[in-house]
Amino acid sequence: MTVYKRNRTLRPSSRKKTSPYKIDTKKVTSEDTLLINIDHEDDLGNVLYQYEIDGSKVASLNSIHFNAISTNNDWEFSWSGAIPKRKK
């Protein structure tokens, strides 16, 4: 079992609100785990959100995507392809 980590940075200053963030899942097998860390361009490296998904849910997919919606001082995520579980 391998834990694959994918890091994404929210970049509202340079990204269209309707542009989804892509998470590559090609190498993830059904026995693996995918860990997704999300930070913000104003605070790079500080993981604000962390999601985890069992490899069996993404093994047959090339990627999953999310849209990020800013709400007050927080973010909401709308997932497509598969929905990971929020850990942080």
Give the domain range for residue 80: 3-86
55-73 confidence digits (pLDDT tens)? 999 999 999 999 999 988 8
- Asked if 81 and 61 touch (Cβ cutoff 8 Å), the reply is yes
Nearest to 51 by CA among 80, 88, 76: 88
In this predicted structure, what is the pLDDT of residue 72?
A: 83
Residue 56 backbone phi and psi in degrees, to 5: -60, -20
List pLDDT tens digits, range 19-39. 999 999 999 999 999 999 999
Q: Do 78 and 65 contact (CB within 8 A), yes or no?
A: no
Total tally of structural domains belonging to the chain = 1
